[in-house]
Structure 1
Amino acid sequence: MGKILVTAYLLFSSIIAFADKPDTVVINNNQSTLLTNRYFYELEDTNANLTINNVLNKEFYVIKNTLPTFKYTKSTTWLKFNIKNDSTAPFITISIAASVIDEFDLYYIDNTTTNIRHLVPDNAHNDQVTQNIMFINCPVLPGTSNTIYLRIKSSAPNVIPIKVYGTYAFLKSRNIENITTGVIIGVFIVMALYNLLLFFIVGDRSYIYYVCYILFFGLSQVLKRGYGGNLFTTDKTILNNYIIPLVRVLFGYSILLFISEFLQLKQNLKRWYKYYLLLYAIYSILLVAVLCGMVVTAYNLITISTCITSVSLLIIGAHLYFGNGFKPAKFFMLGWGIFLISILISVASNRGFIPYNNLTTEIVVYSSVLELILFSAALAEKINFYRFQKNESQNFALAVAKENERLITQQNILLENKVRERTNELIATNKNLSVSIDNLMSTQKQLIDNEKMASLGQLTAGVAHEINNPINFVSSNIAPLRLDFDELFVLLNKYDDALNNPEQSSLLSILNNYKQKIDINFIKEEITILLNGIEEGANRTAEIVNSLRAFSSTDEQILKTTDINKSILNNLLILRSTIPYYIEIKPVFDKLEPLHCYPGKINQLIINLINNSIYAIKAREHHSDESVMIITKDYADHISIEITDTGIGMSDETKQRIFEPFFTTKSIGEGTGLGLSIVFGIIEKHRGNIEVISSPGNGATFIVTLPKNLA
């Protein structure tokens, strides 16, 4: 009984094997055959590490799909089939679409030598007519047959359309393909140029986004047909792993931008528009996958994002047309619906869900041409829509204008009477206003003079303090200096007594005793020290007087040449007594040429800015590392003075108003609000500029720019 079952199993297996045995591909001169599962066995090489010697010992199997297909994890596939040459040519052409195929080569056993032959695509060094397709001319003598082993490698999930041609059939097929591709490219170029022209005429951004959409869509179709080597690079890895998916990402972005602008989604979707932005996020994730080299993931995401985007845009178009009555969405919905169906058919064909044939292969191209026509009609409809809106708005504006004209006529009569009344009132008011303006100008001049006097009073107190120190230094040295001179005079008198009375030896003894008592060397040193101190006090007093002389000319109207660095130092000398001990003054001066300016005005400007910085620092509750940095810089046509403090800073609102007259942040009685207004007037008089950089709690920087060519 067991032997009978074994025999029956072997017999059944033989029948199944015989039934599944593929046919031989027979090719004549004008024939081409698509390599389906009727003709080949398949061997999956997931790790891509099998060689032809390994493959010869492996068991191939028959697949259920009509065409060989790369699944989501498969990287390399081996196909085994028999081929018979019934043509007159000594070889048969085996071709595969070049798009997204990384490697394609062929092995066969030479019938004459029994050696294994390896062939690679012939078009690697061929003319441009056949560079868009990978093909191999396999030597098979007429009337003979051979077993062929094909190795195909790709990282993208897709079907593998392989065709076997006779010589004449291959050349004819290539010519038709090139003509078809040329026509398609021509259509895309014409549509792009036409809409680009409309963009320059109409100015609607929809057209420029539509041009981008056409260009990237056309480019993706050209790459799909295998023309990437002509446009970008012959390196299949770079082309398939980066350029092709990157173009599809850009194509997706162009679709989203065009639809958003064309359908006015920001206005029509309103609160739902943020969900539309998620489509951008999907393509951004896809872009990251491409740039990170995640090829399989990228191609899978391309399929997913294409389906999601297509369905989402169709729903949006239907909502705008049926829900909001947005007429331009009608042609868009029709064109996009056709395009969506073609994409779904193409994706299903590429995944092996429906038969792969010429119609399913080219359906996206055919539908895209129809879609371009419908989209162009949609854009034209949008222009009509805008024209209708414009006409309505013009008619409404005309009606409003007529009504306004009527009302204006009535109002003019009333206004003329009121104008007469108001004119008489204004004449009387102008008289009073002139008096008020004169009073105001007088008051303003008085306030400015008061500001000057206040600054002068502050400076006077400081100068008195500064002069008092060196004067005290001089006066304190006079008393000990007089004592030293008195002792020297006494010593000289004793010398005279000793010289005049040589016979009295006691006088010499008294002289020597007194000399030792007063310590003549100490007196010499003390006199020198006291005289140096008096000289230093006198010099400091002279410096203060010179600084006051420079500051005293605040009302001069004559341009003079002034050393800006020296002016700053003089003003610092005057202000030294008003600067608290915890504030460090840090001058950093560039080498400046003498500047033509109004020296007194510049001194007043420097005094006011430094005083403001000191006040801002004093206003802080706690003091630590406080400083005022004064920097001068020399440029080709101007100089700059930068005064930076560590004070309390100011807000943007305060910065906008600090140069307004009478505006102040100081307490009542501490300032008139005219200091920075005067500074601004001085800078305008010098045709310069001032910039303020500050924020609350971070101090302030005043940058004054003065031209060199004021003369």
Structure 2
Amino acid sequence: MISIITFIWAFFQALNPVILNGEIVLLDRYEYLILEEDKDIKFQEIIERNDFTKIDQQSKNFGINNDVVWLKYVVENNSEKEGKYFYINNSSLDSLELFVVSENEILESYVGGRLVDFYSKPILSKSIIFDINLPIGKTSEIFLKVKSVNKKIITSTITNRNYLENLINRENILFGIFTGVIVGLFFYNLFLFFSVRDKLYLIYVIHTVLVWFAQSSILGFTQEIFWPNVVWLNLRSGVIFSSLVSIVGIWFLRVFLSTDKFIPKLDKGFYFIYLVYAFILVNAFFFSITVSYQTLLVTQSIVVLYVLLAAFAVQKQGYRPARYYLLAWSVFMLGIFLFVLSEMGIIPTNDLTAYIMPLGSALEVVLLSFALADKINILKKEKEKEQAERLRVLKENEQLIREQNTMLEEKVRIRTDELEQALRNLQNTQSQLVSQEKMASLG
């Protein structure tokens, strides 16, 4: 009975407009309509349709597909200003069209998304923002058309410029902290590579750079910094760098934990994973980016478990560096799982799931740096132990040589005494013979 009452209340609540009388209003009541990509419908037909589905929640994941999603918001502007900012908390949406309608008449229309001209945005940012005008004291309908190959998770807010600038500054600060951590680890380990000439440090440096590009692409910062209007890269950078960082990460694992030595059977499985990532990359470059993104999400979920299994198997054999790797990968694995679950719509999208991947990646590279340092200490101790063993062997050899020299000297002394005694005997015998010859001559 309670559930029926709740449903009826939600139904009628969705029909009521969202009142705009404050600075920040979250549009958590709206209707949606999903159309197939190949259906070309005029906007006037969209206005007249009555098969929109009502919903009462902050955000909804419409999946990773090629469908076109229409959202309909009913708002009443009771504030003193017409100008408002319509903000969407998902910078990875490709193409959006927004229409302001009153009494079935289009008042304003706008375009947005990451594929539009970056410098035409009302606020230069990776975020998707529309500068809209809403009639004062009237009820308006806002229609939003969303086309995107990535996740279609839309959380909409109508607010003012000051709020948006503060929000953007906060995101920039967090991203700056993340970048500072990555840059510091990059130069530190690059210096170690040139010092010790161990290829493991070079792999780690490459991995660190790709971690930054992968997370920056997911958050939309690479578009803002490097290629604001390169449509091809804007569409594919997230998939490309996520695949590359996974490939190099597995390479680092295999070298760091010597999987070919400790777990040769499991190590062979990584070659199959390489093939899957190669398929994702080829498909992203030449065919369907949507299929690549869907495959990547499933692959990431399987790979994190397989890597965890491999690291645990190595650690079980008593290899100490595997403990630190397990810790680093467990943190990263948690971030990947939460991110994938939010991308698939299994768990709701919020600030935690939005920033869990950069946080998990930063912690991972930091912990992997600790793991490398620990491995240096282990190698140093092993080298010291090896040097001590060599020194012990050298001392034993030196002692043996000394004892052999002493024995040789003793033998030489004894032999010399014997020769001297023989010489004396020979001299005595010779003297006796001489005396006998003299006596014989006298006789």
TM bracket, shorter-chain basis: 0.7 to 0.9
1:306 pairs with 2:297? no
Cα gap change, 1:186/1:85 in structure 2, threshold over 3 Å: closer, same or farther? Answer: farther
* Per-residue deviation, 1:414: 9.2
- The match for 1:118 among 101, 109, 127 is 109
1: distance between equivalents of 2:330 and 2:65? 32
Amino acid at match of 1:404: N
Deviations 1:352-374, CA, capped at 9 Å, x for gaps: 21122111211222222322322
* Per-residue deviation, 1:194: 1.7
Amino acid at match of 2:24: Q
1:44 pairs with 2:34? yes
Contact between 2:263 and 2:313, CA under 8 Å: does it hold in 1? no
Q: Which residue of 2 aligns with 1:564?
A: none
2: distance between equivalents of 1:277 and 1:387? 32
Contact between 2:24 and 2:159, CA under 8 Å: does it hold in 1? yes
Deviations 1:295-344, CA, capped at 9 Å, x for gaps: 111001110121122111111121222x1111111121112112111211
- The match for 1:391 among 362, 384, 393 is 384
2: distance between equivalents of 1:50 and 1:404? 92
Contact between 1:102 and 1:236, CA under 8 Å: does it hold in 2? no
Q: Which residue of 1 aligns with 2:415?
A: none
1:326 pairs with 2:319? yes
Question: Counterpart of 1:326 in 2: which secondary structure?
Answer: coil
2: distance between equivalents of 1:202 and 1:319? 28
Higher radius of gyration, 1 or 2: 1
1:290 pairs with 2:284? yes
2: distance between equivalents of 1:25 and 1:193? 51
Q: Which residue of 2 aligns with 1:96?
A: 88
How many residues were matched structurally?
400
Contact between 1:229 and 1:235, CA under 8 Å: does it hold in 2? yes
Q: Which residue of 2 aligns with 1:85?
A: 77
Q: Show the 5 A alignment for 1:2-401.
A: 18-19=11-12, 21-28=14-21, 30-33=23-26, 35-36=27-28, 39-48=29-38, 49-58=40-49, 59-63=51-55, 67-97=59-89, 99-109=91-101, 114-121=105-112, 124-126=118-120, 130-235=124-229, 237-321=231-315, 323-401=316-394
Question: Counterpart of 1:119 in 2: which secondary structure?
Answer: strand
Unaligned runs of 5+ in 1: 1-11, 417-711
* Per-residue deviation, 1:382: 0.8
Amino acid at match of 1:57: E
* Per-residue deviation, 1:407: 3.7
Q: Show the 5 A alignment for 1:449-468.
A: none
Amino acid at match of 1:229: Q
Cα gap change, 1:28/1:203 in structure 2, threshold over 3 Å: closer, same or farther? Answer: farther
Amino acid at match of 2:162: Y
Cα gap change, 1:167/1:234 in structure 2, threshold over 3 Å: closer, same or farther? Answer: closer
Contact between 1:65 and 1:352, CA under 8 Å: does it hold in 2? no
* Per-residue deviation, 1:139: 0.4
Contact between 2:227 and 2:234, CA under 8 Å: does it hold in 1? no
* Per-residue deviation, 1:80: 0.3
Deviations 1:620-662, CA, capped at 9 Å, x for gaps: xxxxxxxxxxxxxxxxxxxxxxxxxxxxxxxxxxxxxxxxxxx
Q: Which residue of 2 aligns with 1:599?
A: none
* Per-residue deviation, 1:285: 1.6
* Per-residue deviation, 1:65: 7.3
Deviations 1:95-146, CA, capped at 9 Å, x for gaps: 23564322012012256x9345321239743479633112111101444431
Amino acid at match of 2:92: V
Amino acid at match of 1:161: T
| TM, length-normalised to structure 1 | 0.52
Cα gap change, 1:274/1:17 in structure 2, threshold over 3 Å: closer, same or farther? Answer: closer
Contact between 2:125 and 2:168, CA under 8 Å: does it hold in 1? no
* Per-residue deviation, 1:412: 6.5
1: distance between equivalents of 2:326 and 2:389? 32
1: distance between equivalents of 2:182 and 2:102? 47
1: distance between equivalents of 2:173 and 2:78? 29
1: distance between equivalents of 2:198 and 2:15? 59
Cα gap change, 1:93/1:401 in structure 2, threshold over 3 Å: closer, same or farther? Answer: same
1: distance between equivalents of 2:169 and 2:138? 28
Contact between 2:254 and 2:267, CA under 8 Å: does it hold in 1? no
* Per-residue deviation, 1:62: 2.4
2: distance between equivalents of 1:301 and 1:365? 21
Amino acid at match of 1:54: E
CA-based RMSD: 3.0
Cα gap change, 1:115/1:128 in structure 2, threshold over 3 Å: closer, same or farther? Answer: closer
Contact between 2:247 and 2:277, CA under 8 Å: does it hold in 1? yes
Contact between 1:318 and 1:329, CA under 8 Å: does it hold in 2? yes
Amino acid at match of 2:240: L
| Worse overlay, 201-210 or 223-232 | 223-232
Contact between 1:95 and 1:164, CA under 8 Å: does it hold in 2? yes
* Per-residue deviation, 1:55: 0.9
Q: Show the 5 A alignment for 1:605-620.
A: none
Cα gap change, 1:288/1:124 in structure 2, threshold over 3 Å: closer, same or farther? Answer: closer
Amino acid at match of 2:377: N
Cα gap change, 1:185/1:134 in structure 2, threshold over 3 Å: closer, same or farther? Answer: same
Question: Counterpart of 1:213 in 2: which secondary structure?
Answer: helix
* Per-residue deviation, 1:232: 4.2
2: distance between equivalents of 1:258 and 1:306? 16
2: distance between equivalents of 1:115 and 1:230? 32
Amino acid at match of 1:106: L
Q: Show the 5 A alignment for 1:578-589.
A: none
Contact between 1:98 and 1:226, CA under 8 Å: does it hold in 2? no
Cα gap change, 1:197/1:17 in structure 2, threshold over 3 Å: closer, same or farther? Answer: closer
* Per-residue deviation, 1:151: 0.6
Question: Counterpart of 2:84 in 1: which secondary structure?
Answer: strand
Q: Show the 5 A alignment for 1:614-653.
A: none
Contact between 1:47 and 1:75, CA under 8 Å: does it hold in 2? yes
| TM, length-normalised to structure 2 | 0.81
* Per-residue deviation, 1:85: 3.3
Amino acid at match of 1:82: V
Question: Counterpart of 2:44 in 1: which secondary structure?
Answer: helix
